Amino acid sequence: MPAAPSGRVLVTGANGYIAVWIVKKLLDAGFAVRGTVRSASKAMHLRNLFKAAGEKFELVIVDDIVEVRVPFTFVHHSESERPCSQPGAFDEYVQDVTAIIHNATPVHLNAAEPDEMIIPALQGTLGILESARAHGTALQRVVVLSSTATVWRSNTDPSKTLDLDETCWNDEEVAQCREKGRAATPLAMYRASKTLAERAAWEFIGKYSGEGGVGWDLVTLSPSFVVGPCLHEVDKPEGLGWTAKEWYETVIKGVVDENALANTG
């Protein structure tokens, strides 16, 4: 399906580091944008930032996409044990959009256990896809912002080049989270959440392809370490998000986090 040249785009997690730039680029290109945030307090900065867009920019609050917390060990065991998204969380907001760009997901290294990262990432992705299938009558494309974390794996033989492509999945750190739970590294928890969420998205498409398809394209994008100017609300450097803060600490302050380097493999 060709890319949509115009229309309204739903951007989830619109106050995020990358998402705010996506909103700006869409508005600059002439699209109308509907952004989702989790609370009214997160909307004020965006309304001021994009005030000039007028009615072409709107914000809606989707405060909870999690209905039931299912232990991570149950993920992929059976359809009845799958984590469930909050029913209808996005239903109202997908009905008149041409495209969806799904950004909302935890991005940090502060989780105490894998579920804190995996369940919201997985349920958020499945929730937006379920709403799109049921109510996205004008929809042409869904873009899920994934990560190179989904294809990462350790290179056990540094003398050889490790080739990664669309057939590769980061099963190593998914297994680490399953086996070690709270003892898994924070980076493994994040990478596992991204891996499971993207795999679930493609499994979702595969499930419904035999029922006449879903009527729209799924695209996943896999950026790596993202740095650059901030448009989202930040009052001091310490309030920067994970990747921007890592860059600030290393390049501006000259502080190298040896633990972070060890976690990157």
DSSP string, 97-149: -SEEEE--S---S--SSHHHHHHHHHHHHHHHHHHHHHH-TT--EEEEE--GG
Tens of pLDDT, residues 28-56: 999 999 999 988 888 889 999 999 999 99
Phi, psi (degrees; rounded to nearest 5) at 50: -110, 30
Which residue is catalytic, options 24, 25, 180, 194? 194
Burial of 240: CB neighbours in 10 Å, binned 0-12, 13-18, 19+? middle
136 pLDDT higher than 70: yes
Domain ranges of the chain: 8-230
42 an active-site residue?
no
Instruction: Label residue 76 left, alpha or beta by phi (over 0 means left) and psi (-120 to 50 means alpha).
Output: left
3-state secondary structure of 260: helix
More confident residue, 227 or 260: 227
Tens of pLDDT, residues 113-126: 999 999 999 999 99
pTM, two decimal places: 0.84
> Looking at the domain 8-230, which fold is it?
Rossmann fold (3.40.50)
**Cβ atoms of 247 and 256 closer than 8 Å:** no
Tens of pLDDT, residues 75-130: 443 343 344 445 578 999 999 999 999 998 888 888 999 999 999 999 999 999 99
Where does the pLDDT of residue 211 fall: very low under 50, low under 70, confident under 90, or very high at 90 and above? Answer: low
Q: Which of 51-60, 188-197, 248-257 bottoms out in mean pLDDT, i.e. has the lowest?
A: 248-257
Residue 133 has what pLDDT? 94
